[in-house]
Chains A and B, each alone.
Chain A
Amino acid sequence: MKLSNNVYLLLSFIALSLSYTLGIEIPEKFQKSNHTNNWAVLVDTSRFWFNYRHVANVLSIYRSVKRLGIPDSQIILMISDDMACNPRNPRPATIFNNAHEQINVYGDDVEVDYRGYEVSVENFVRLLTGRVPPDTPRSKRLLTDEGSNILIYLTGHGGDGFLKFQDSEEVTSQELADALEQMWQKKRYNEIFFIIDTCQASSMYEKFYSPNILATASSLVGEDSLSHHVDSAIGVYIIDRYTYYVLEFLENVHPNSKRTMSEFLAVCPKSACLSTVGVRRDLFNRDPSKVPITDFFGSVRPVVITTDPIDIQEIPKRKKKIENKTKVQEKREYLPQFPMHLVQTT
């Protein structure tokens, strides 16, 4: 993490010097935001051939976030079953998202971090809260910090207040809410965008109580999330409706596009989804219509390299940061992303 911090520090200095020397205006949102890096946790909780669509769902999102700039090292992909190599798959080593088989979401370089029976409630909660065994490899850790925006995407079979993992266990909405609170207290995120595509999906975010979470779900309590269509060549339901339309939307998003989160939240109207997409905004401080979609789906920022020296002024005393509502003893702090106090602003 230190490394990435340094990278960001460097980046910020570069940007800083840029603004200083060339007099480029740094956007206010950019200045004030604590957002420094992006992570994604993408989970498919169900196994078996007839749940092909859930794997297609999660790989669709994976494909999009990767394309929009989150590197594999910051994507934790959990997939319960290997559909591409299932002997029943008439198109071996591929997973498609629609019957025309245009997009092979399995692609060429999928890095699955947790697979098969590793996808369990315990591993999921440990991953989120960072309480992993010391010998856990880096690829299986969620190394987020105070400045991380995390995209959490879950798909599988759910019910009112729970999400089934494999065929043996469930995570309840309360457990999930507690895990997120723990993350907040441990300063493991800046903002979270939570997407869930299951039956009765909205029940999963109803218990959340930690700040800075924007949540959306494919269906309300009492509704089923439906599959989009069958691929009769493969002989399975190929993708779920919500994720199908999400992918359709994301395919037209580029790292530079100005799409906002509110557009994303309206991606699947009831006429298309057949279920009502649920959104929870009350924990989220910002207005989704002003949040660019790349805040959660991408992490590429424009970078301009300068060769001019940077003149750093005297360093004033740091202001004490405002305490969290949760009143936890703070051990460490990060510097504000842009040390604006060091720079003469125009």
Chain B
Amino acid sequence: MGLLSDPEYGSVKWVKVLRRVHRPLCFLCYVASLVWFVMLGNREFNNETYFSENALLPGLVTNEFNGEYAAKQYYNEFLQELKDKYEDTDEIPVPWLVGKMSQLHLEVYTHNFTLDYPLGEGQVYKGTNVYGILRAARTSSLEALVVTAPYRPLFSHQKGTTAGIALMLAFAQFAKPQKYWAKDIIFLITEHEQLGMQAWLEAYHGLHSDTETFQTSLGSFWKPGTSGLNFEKFIPGFDFGATHKKCLNPGTLKGRSGSIQAAINLELHTPQIKYIEVKVEGLNGQLPNLDLVNLVHKLCVKSGIHHSYKNSYSWIRTRDKMEEWTNNLWTMLGMVSTQLDGVPNGNHGLFHRFGIEAVTLEGRDASDPAGAPPKVNALNTANFYRLGAALESILRSLNNLLERFHQSYFFYLLAATNRFISIGQYMPSLCLLCVAMLLRALSLWVSIQQDVWEEDKQTDKQDKKTKEKPSDSDTGDDETKQLVDRKKKVTKDKHSDSESELPGDVKPKEVVKEVKRKKKEEANFSVVSIGANYLLVHLIGYAVMNSPILFTYIGAKYFSQPSEVSVYFGLVAVSILLILITPYLPRILRKGPITYEEMCLVNILLLIEMATLCLTVGMHNFPLGLAIAVLYTPVALVVEVVTKQGGRKSSILVALKCLLCLTAQPMFTLTFAMVLYSRVLFPEEGLMAMMGRGRDAAMQATMFSVADSLIYGNWLFNMTTSVLLPAWIIFWQILCNKVDAMA
């Protein structure tokens, strides 16, 4: 605090420089950040991938996979079985799978789970997973690898996974008699996509719905058993807290193996795929260890399978630097957009939370819904032999692991299948954005300090003219004092004719006196009222976070609307309500009018909060942190305390700022983004249809994020409502409350 309470503070050189240049500096930071991100796509700024883990010994071993014929047979049999008996049901063919696995002498188990859908009228979904364990003959079952495939019924709108399941069975047949396994292999087929996977993982790790575990505390900020808002008092019969913990009942597993080291998820709809897309993004943007990703890419090459990641295709290697740069950039942006919402793009994504590295291998052909990459038709199609060989070499390499993946990067961006950007390289991009906000906060802080200091100085001059100077002041004090006074005069003159851009700047003398008088009349700097407002706003955010279940209940009971409609419109209503009400909150909490300093302090706090939020979120999920920072840094920099003394020009400016602030409202941003997105997808539609589509998409998105938050522990919704929304409310409060300017 020595620095902050230094009486000569205002005259320190860097403070003056900072006050003068902080705006261009912040702008520069913002631009530099974006430039940095774009530069990361360039070959010079990213790195070639490499293996850190010695134990993997990738691809040293000859492939022995000979299950091509068996795989074809399984594939045909499975398709026939599905057509015969499961044509119009979404049930998983448990008997067939159990039968086939038993024939292979695996330890076969089924696993039942139940979901009490939290956002409905008590719908209950049931599902069954089937898994078989291949025990490693020469070791104890302390470690395991998982090969998994989601089961999808024939009529599913998603691509099937029958070929993946057939390949898995053929591989199990091949692997069973081998004597080199040092880890058990679990062959798992899950139902209901990620739900089954989540249930199986929770059951495997002994997480139960009724225990207070990290799952429940991660799943929402609500811990079962904690006392909090008890809505049961207000609405009898409405079970509020319980829904959080009883969402997904994972049941229990009858058979277990050891700790899972790695998992491979197969999504192959046909053996005649053109190439394999390696999907890595997991829950909350978590990524598997880079070593595993490299391993998969490298062994695809070795097995003669074309592979890709986003916009980077293994069979296209351009020499043109610009083209490569743009490709890399698109790949990075693709990764950013996938990680942004924190929803895993495959079953692999749920493993990461348990410290298990996992990737999905998705088979694609020329007519894939993801779009056809260039020259795809010229590619040789893969077959069961190559796919099996790839799977074999991946698993044998994983079999060599001695400990969990720990060597390579866990935080990275991929620019191509063989290029990556480490956390050290991409964080500066986010940090620059946060620096911009912190710089702004610092400049606000020093401007308040200086104002106070100048005031003190004036009173000093009047009162203690004859008195001696403090003993510790040096001889140069007199000179500096005069210098500062002169300078102040100059600035005053400069500002007296033109209205001030910076409210923190020195104001005409009359105003100064008036404010000073006021200041003497009342203790006008009330931290308590600011704090109370701050706390209240965040409590509102917390309440909004917990509101969807209430909305669902109300919507269903009084309007008989489906859950997604009631949640969406409930949140919209709350947003509008907050826009209207919150500007009055600080006035209610405060007896007298709010002072400029208080508002400034709130602004500083807010800037610090935003910077912290972006950095902390960015540490876990860089794309999300970056997106928030890119979106909200301009708002944070533009928003400033509005003074009553502003003229016509400044009121227009304030109106524009308000508009900008409104567009940054999370709910509005979401809807707007969805409208834009549907415009991009369906450019031929009219305005109204576009709006409708956008609204529906926004509804879906809201619903998914709420459901994901409740079931899987995705914290996008929680973070948005409990931190981002309060922050936005405070921005709004700052803009909507005019205060008296002060010197």
Which of A's residues lie within 8 Å of B, judged by CB? 48-50, 86-90, 92, 230, 232-237
Cα A90 to Cα B399 with chains together (Å): 12
Give the distance in Å from the alpha carbon of A236 to the alpha carbon of B61 in the complex: 7
Write out the residue numbers on chain B whose beta carbons fall within 8 Å of the beta carbon of A233: 61-62
Do the beta carbons of B139 and A48 come within 8 Å of each other?
no
The answer on a CB contact under 8 Å between A50 and B179 is no
Whether A89 lies near B54 (C-beta < 8 A) is no
Chain B hits for A86, CB < 8 A: 182
When distances are taken between beta carbons in the complex, the residues of chain A under 8 Å from B137 are: 87
Instruction: Mark interface residues in B667-693 (1 if CB within 8 Å of A CB, else 0).
Output: 000000000000000000000000000
* Residue B262 at the chain A interface, CB threshold 8 Å: no
Q: Quick check: B60 and A230 within 8 Å, CB to CB?
A: yes
A49-B400, A232-B61, A235-B400 are contacts. A87–B138 as well, Cβ < 8 Å?
Answer: yes
Residues on A with beta carbons closer than 8 Å to the beta carbon of B400: 49-50, 88, 235
For B399, give the chain A residue with the smallest CB separation: A88
Nearest-neighbour CB distance to chain B for A224, whole angstroms, equals 14
Starting from the known contacts A88-B180, A88-B399, A89-B180, 8 additional A-B residue pairs (CB-CB under 8 Å) come to A50-B54, A87-B138, A90-B178, A90-B179, A90-B180, A232-B62, A235-B57, A237-B60
Q: How far is the CB of A89 from chain B (nearest CB, A)?
A: 7
B62: chain A residues within 8 A (beta carbon): 232-233, 235
Q: Does B384 contact A (CB under 8 A)?
A: no
Q: By the criterion CB–CB under 8 Å, are B55 and A50 in contact?
A: yes
Q: How far is the CB of A302 from chain B (nearest CB, A)?
A: 47
Contact B182 A88 (CB under 8 A): yes
Closest residue of chain B to A89 (Cβ to Cβ) is: B180
A16 to B54, CA, bound (A): 58
Point out the residues of chain B lying under 8 angstroms from A90, CB to CB: 178-180
B136 CB-CB contact with A under 8 Å? yes
Which residues of B lie under 8 Å from residue A87 when comparing CB positions? 136-139, 180-182
Interface string of B379-397 (1 = CB under 8 A from A): 0000000000000000010
Which of B61, B178, B399 is packed against the most chain A CB atoms within 10 Å? B61
A48 and B402 in contact, given A232-B61, A236-B60 (Cβ under 8 angstroms):
yes
CA distance A50 to B180 in the complex (A): 14
Q: Is the CB of B180 within 8 A of A49?
A: no
Interchain CB contact under 8 A, B396 and A235: yes
Q: Which residues of A contact B402 (CB under 8 A)?
A: 48-50
Top 9 A-B pairs ranked by shortest CB distance?
A235-B61, A87-B138, A87-B182, A232-B62, A90-B180, A87-B139, A235-B60, A88-B182, A50-B55
Residues of A within 8 Å of B179, CB to CB, are 90, 92
Which residues does chain A contribute within 8 Å of B399, judged by CB atoms?
88
Contacts of A234 in B (CB 8 A): 61
Residues of A near B57 (CB, < 8 A) are: 49-50, 235-237
In the complex, the answer to whether B180 meets A48 with C-beta atoms within 8 Å is no
In the assembled complex, the Cα of A50 lies from the Cα of B60 at a distance in Å of 11
> Quick one: given A88-B180, A88-B399, A90-B179, are A48 and B55 in contact (CB under 8 Å)?
yes
Shortest C-beta distance, B583 to chain A (Å), equals 63
- Count of chain B residues with a beta carbon within 8 Å of a chain A beta carbon: 19
Among residues of B, the one whose C-beta sits closest to the C-beta of A92 is: B179
State in angstroms the CA–CA spacing of A252 and B438 once bound together: 75
Nearest-Cβ distance from residue A18 to partner chain B, whole angstroms: 56
- DSSP class of A's interface residues: helix, strand, loop or mixed? loop
B400 to chain A, nearest CB (A): 6
Which residue of B has the minimal Cβ distance to A48?
Answer: B402
| Minimum distance in angstroms from B594 CB to a CB of chain A | 63
Contact with A along B132-162 (1 / 0, CB 8 A): 0000111100000000000000000000000
Once the chains are docked, how many angstroms separate the CA of A234 from the CA of B64?
Answer: 12
Subset of 21 A-B contacts with CB under 8 Å: A48-B54, A49-B55, A49-B57, A49-B182, A49-B400, A49-B402, A50-B402, A87-B138, A88-B399, A89-B180, A90-B178, A90-B179, A92-B138, A232-B61, A232-B62, A235-B60, A235-B62, A235-B396, A236-B57, A236-B60, A237-B60
Residues of A within 8 Å of B178, CB to CB, are: 90
A147→B690 CA distance, assembly (Å):
97
Q: How far is the CA of A230 from the CA of B58 in the complex (A)?
A: 12
Tell me the bound Cα distance from A168 to B593 in angstroms: 67
Please, which residues of chain B bring their CB within 8 A of the CB of A50? 54-55, 57, 400, 402
Within the complex, the shortest CB–CB distance from A62 to chain B, in Å, comes to 25
Question: Which chain B residues lie closer than 8 Å to A230 at the CB level?
Answer: 60
In chain B, what residue has the closest Cβ to A47?
B402
Given the complex of chains A and B, what is the CA–CA distance between A86 and B178 in angstroms? Answer: 14
Chain A nearest CB: distance from B196 CB in Å? Answer: 31
Give the distance to chain B from A155, nearest Cβ to Cβ, in Å.
16
| Docked complex Cα distance between A230 and B62 (Å) | 10
Cα(A230)–Cα(B376), bound, Å: 35
B295 → chain A closest CB, angstroms = 14
B55 surroundings in chain A (CB, below 8 A) = 48-50
Residues on A with beta carbons closer than 8 Å to the beta carbon of B182: 49, 86-88
* Contact bitstring B390-414, A, C-beta under 8 A = 1, else 0: 0000001001101000000000000
Q: How far is the CB of B275 from chain A (nearest CB, A)?
A: 26
Within 8 A of A (CB), among B476-517: none
**B281-332: which residues lie under 8 A (CB-CB) from chain A?**
none
Contacts of B54 in A (CB 8 A): 48, 50
**Which residues of B (388-444) have their CB < 8 Å from a CB of A?**
396, 399-400, 402
Taking CB as reference atom, which chain A residue is nearest B62? Answer: A232
- Across the interface, name the chain B residue whose C-beta is closest to A85: B138
Across the interface, name the chain B residue whose C-beta is closest to A232.
B62
Q: In the bound complex, how far is the Cα of B62 from the Cα of A234, in angstroms?
A: 8
Whole-angstrom distance from the CB of B333 to the nearest CB of chain A?
A: 38
Chain B residues numbered 87-106 whose CB sits less than 8 Å from any CB in chain A: none
Complex Cα–Cα for A57 and B57 (A): 19
Could you tell me if B60 and A232 are in contact, using CB atoms closer than 8 angstroms? Answer: yes
A232 to B138, alpha carbons, bound, how many Å? 21
Q: What is the minimal beta-carbon distance from B5 to any residue of chain A, in angstroms? A: 52
- B-side contacts of A48, CB under 8 Å: 54-55, 402
Determine the distance from Cα of A92 to Cα of B138 in the docked complex, in whole angstroms.
Answer: 10
Q: What are the residues of chain B within 8 A of A92 when measuring CB–CB?
A: 138, 179
Expressed in whole angstroms, the minimum distance between the Cβ of B647 and any Cβ of chain A is: 73
Closest chain A residue to B53, Cβ basis: A50
Closest to B140 in A: A87
Which chain B residues numbered 159 to 209 have a C-beta less than 8 Å away from chain A?
178-182
Chain A, residue nearest B180 (CB): A90
B547 CB, min distance to chain A CBs, angstroms: 53
Residue among B60, B182, B396, B400 with the highest chain A CB neighbour number at 10 A: B60
Q: How far is it, in angstroms, between the C-alpha of A230 and the C-alpha of B59 when the chains are bound?
A: 11
Report B62 CB to chain A, min CB distance, Å: 4
CB distance from A233 to the nearest CB of B (A): 6
Closest chain-A Cβ to B17's Cβ sits at a distance in Å of 49
